[in-house]
Amino acid sequence: MKLRIFIFLLPLLLLSTTTNAHNITHILAKHPDLSTFNHYLTITHLAAEINRRRTITVAAIDNAAMNDLLAKHFSLYTLKNILSLHVFADYFGAKKLHQITKGSTTTSSLFQATGEAAGTSGYVNITDMKGGKVGFNPVDSDSDQPMATYVKSIEELPYNISVIQISHGLSSPEAEAPTASPTDLNLTSLMAKQGCLAFSELITAQGADDTFTQSVEGGLTIFCPSDETLKSFMPRYKNLTKEGKTSLLLYHGVPLYNSLGMLRSSNGLMNTLATEGANKYDFTIQNDGDDVKVQTKIVTATIKGTLIDEDPLAVYKIDKVLLPRELFKTAPPSPAPKSPKSKRGSTEDDDEADAPGPAEDDSDLVADSTSNDGNRFRGGELLSVGFSLFVGILMCIF
Ligand SMILES: *[C@@H]1O[C@H](CO)[C@@H](O)[C@H](O)[C@H]1NC(C)=O
Ligand SMILES: *[C@@H]1O[C@H](CO)[C@@H](O)[C@H](O)[C@H]1NC(C)=O
Ligand SMILES: *[C@@H]1O[C@H](CO)[C@@H](O)[C@H](O)[C@H]1NC(C)=O
Ligand SMILES: *[C@@H]1O[C@H](CO)[C@@H](O)[C@H](O)[C@H]1NC(C)=O
Ligand SMILES: *[C@@H]1O[C@H](CO)[C@@H](O)[C@H](O)[C@H]1NC(C)=O
């Protein structure tokens, strides 16, 4: 029994170490001539994305250059794509920019990472030109565009974030392509195209798509189980009643917009589209380092990718089906609870990890659920139980 107590204390200990290394809004606030750029980073939610990443470069443009961009009257969603071209997934301090080997390098931008960009769009060429100038050029930009050049360094926190100023806004036809407002999106086909096909098909088959679609305008966050995850769950899904199936699907939607940044800064209870009355069909958001976890009484899922994050709609891919206790009985305590294992084993960067490991998934689902097959020890679990014990013993001593 003691062991279990320590295991549950462990996440609390880890939580207290969660801090953001940098705050782009704060950095840019010291530069009034970059205030428009700063403002748009905030309202497009790119600021939160920048803050949660490490090893990143932000190429800011001044208010005059921002006004040129705003004069084109892009929608906020298109503007987000254009501004994400200004955030590079690598660290370029002033020194590195002026010492680029072979004079030129190509870096990927956040636009590339959003999945909105096709092919090479989303990559930016950086060229160390004659006379100490450094040029920036999106790989698929129109050739008649003036090349943006390096102006100065704004702030360097090696090797977390480098903020520089460049002369012009970066753009490309792909980034400028009109982006539909989330309220006009076809939710089920959006999910189907980005790795949640099985979940979207269940929603359609169950006639629950209207409930989801009608919720978008007021704000909606969906946690969709990946196709791999859902496949192994299907026997148990089929076993539910018609009402049970609908409740389970609606349980994966929260009638509020939550950006990843908001989820990261808010541990606590969330109501879902299935909630009817207090303490029914709710779950808990729990941060764990860079991971955001969704905890029901029965299972803990981790966010593994973002399908869309545009106010008022966010859709995240998760690695477990969320099992409400109203439909699935709590599992009897098993000798090797899974939670410490996933806590300790989730150190890899989730940014690009869109596809959860399928083999891992299936067995996790079984062990976390009502099935009585909870006796499977693996090396990692033994290690983490050992670690928990160690922490527990330390806590007894002090
Ligand atoms: C970042 O800095 C801004 C301005 O200083 C502040 O309003 C905001 O709360 C900070 N965000 C975080 C996550 O600390
Ligand atoms: C980007 O760099 C690559 C290789 O360095 C080069 O072939 C290409 O022409 C460059 N594109 C632009 C738009 O500068
Ligand atoms: C970079 O981030 C790490 C981890 O958050 C932090 O410990 C370190 O102080 C940061 N470096 C700088 C220069 O701010
Ligand atoms: C969404 O797309 C699917 C097929 O791609 C279609 O069957 C469905 O009617 C669309 N839903 C809406 C609300 O337009
Ligand atoms: C389906 O439900 C029955 C009756 O509740 C139960 O005995 C059986 O184990 C369930 N099957 C699965 C795959 O969950």
Burial 124-155 (b: 16+ CB within 10 A, else e): bebbbeeeeebbbbbbbbeeeeebbebbeebb
- What pLDDT does 384 receive? 44
- Parts of the chain with a pLDDT under 70: 1-20, 114-118, 330-398
Which of 231, 233, 239 to probe ligand 5 with, by most ligand atoms within 8 A of CB?
A: 239
Ligand 4 in contact with 211 (CB < 6 A)?
A: no
CA-closest residue to ligand 3 atom 1:
160
Please, where in the chain does CATH 2.30.180.10 lie? Answer: 19-176, 182-331
Spell out the CATH class of 19-176.
Answer: mainly beta
CB 225 within 8 A of CB 199: yes
Ligand 1: distance of its center to the CA of 232 in Å? Answer: 42
346 and 326 in contact (C-beta within 8 Å)? no
Fold of 182-331: FAS1 domain (2.30.180)
Give the pLDDT score at 294.
Answer: 97
Measured in degrees and rounded to the nearest 5, phi and psi for residue 16 equal: -65, -15
Residue 370: nearest ligand to its CA? 5
pLDDT at position 241 is 95
**How many whole angstroms from 81 Cα to the centroid of ligand 1?**
23
Give the pLDDT confidence score for residue 309 in this predicted structure. 82
**379-397 vs 2-15: helix crossing angle, rounded to 10:** 90
> 315 vs 19, 179, 188, 223, CA distance in Å?
24, 16, 11, 6
Q: Is the entire prediction scored with pTM above 0.85? A: no
Nearest to 381 by CA among 396, 395, 367: 367
The pLDDT score that the predictor gives to residue 330 is 60
Confirm if 282 and 270 have CB atoms less than 8 A apart: yes
CA 318 to chain centre: 10
| Closest residue by CA, ligand 5 atom 4 | 239
Supply the pLDDT for residue 310. Answer: 81
